[in-house]
Amino acid sequence: MQRIILHLDMNSYFASVEQQANPFFRNKPLGVCAYLSPNGCIIASSLEAKKVGIKTGCRVKEAKKLYPRVILIENDPDKYRTVTKKFFKIMGGYSGSFEPYSIDEAFLDLTGWVKSFDQAWLLAAEIHQRISSDIGSWLRCSIGISFTKFLAKFGSDIADAGATLVIPSKDILDDLYLNHQLTDLWGINLRLEKRLNNLGIWSILDLKNASVQLLLQAFGKYGYWLHAHVNGVEVDHLRSSAELWSKSIGHSYCLPKQTTDKKYLLAILYKLTAKVGERLRERNQTAMGVYIHWSCISRLCYGKSFKLKKPVASTDDIFTKAHQVLHQAILKDKVKMLVVGVFNLSEPSKQLGLFGSLANMELAEALDKINHRYHSQMIYRGRMWKTESLAKDRIGFRKVGL
């Protein structure tokens, strides 16, 4: 049976969602920012912004120089997650094998659900139409269809906005690769490109025709994957939700107020810990390890990672461990970034803990239910009082986080 994989990538996603929500933003250069401060980073640019040189990664102050009338807004994660759930639902109705790759990308295994690449193309056209009619006419996506997961992703990456590109066989690969660079390939960044250049590999065709032994010696198993990917050999599969979960959960925050004031730092720490605890409980997992780190204006970093004797899942239990480290630390330099997280994750034991841990867990779960139903911060601990504007919700790249 012919394997048929579809990859969908939303175009200028966050910016398009904002333009869909606000008609006054349409047909205008728009940048969605992590922060609106001069050094804030633009995490999504509208198609109009890209045409005037404002791309993802551009700083706010640089964007204003390139185009003084650019519209810059702070990101709204809940809005993007809502739209993502809608197009994920549309995609999931076409196959029993679905992998959300990030908040704006997903894979479908159509093998057995369609009989040919022609049928897959018609299905893609239907997905385009449904996203436009059911979610928003200003939203567009690029779709790639091929016989491997890698080539389906490559197809959507090089397809025009709002278009579908089908790569039905290996016979057309050389022609496709001629017009693209190594960094156009999924997984190859500038650093890896430089390492490939050192091996005499300067183009995708060079990589395709390179010796497998050479790549294995230079990169180990990943070298074989590189060779297999560009030669149309499948070495991957669509992953389940459990497989997509990271092995740790963490949150970080660059402090707008660089300080040694522990009262301020502990308030931020608790808010970050609350996010970690909520994500941990959403996954129905517990942690046997906690880490806390901070970096100072002197560029020195401090912190500690440690394993626990008993698993934790409640915000208070995680915070207690992290708090001890920060409370006992002697802060000689002003702190500019704070990081907290958990690791060694597993399913919770059926044997419940006693006293504090059980009470903390029951309270945490009750708060989660209320906040999920009404608002992400409908009710919260007193420690988080007056921290509404600090450590706001963010969406990390390559994280679905729905």
Highest average pLDDT, of 66-75, 270-279, 392-401, comes from: 66-75
CB-based contact 16:10 (threshold 8 Å)? yes
- In the chain, what are the helix, strand and coil shares in percent, each to the nearest 5? 45, 20, 35
Q: Is the pLDDT of residue 88 over 80?
A: yes
pLDDT at site 155: 97
pLDDT digits (tens, 9 = 90+) for 384-395: 555 665 656 556
pLDDT digits (tens, 9 = 90+) for 341-372: 999 988 876 554 544 455 566 666 676 666 66
Mean pLDDT of 127-137: 96
Fold of 1-168: Alpha-Beta Plaits (3.30.70)
Q: Strands of 286-296's sheet, edge to edge?
A: 248-259, 335-346, 286-296, 301-312
Give one word for 220, left, alpha or beta, with left for phi > 0 and alpha for psi -120 to 50. left
pLDDT at site 319: 92
Tell me yes or no: is domain 170-239 CATH 3.40.190.10. no
CATH code, residues 245-384: 3.30.1490.100
Distance from CA of residue 136 to its chain's centroid? 23
pLDDT digits (tens, 9 = 90+) for 285-326: 899 999 999 999 888 889 899 899 889 888 888 999 999 999
pLDDT digits (tens, 9 = 90+) for 194-227: 999 999 999 999 999 999 999 999 999 999 999 9
Residue 248: pLDDT band (50, 70, 90) is confident
Domain ranges of the chain: 1-168, 170-239, 245-384
Q: Provide the whole-model pTM.
A: 0.78
Residues 135 and 249: their CA atoms lie apart, in Å, by: 31
Can 170-239 and 245-384 be said to share one CATH topology? no
For residue 301, give Cα distances in angstroms to 35, 330, 350.
24, 13, 38
Residue 64: pLDDT band (50, 70, 90) is very high
pLDDT at site 83: 95
Residue type, 28: K
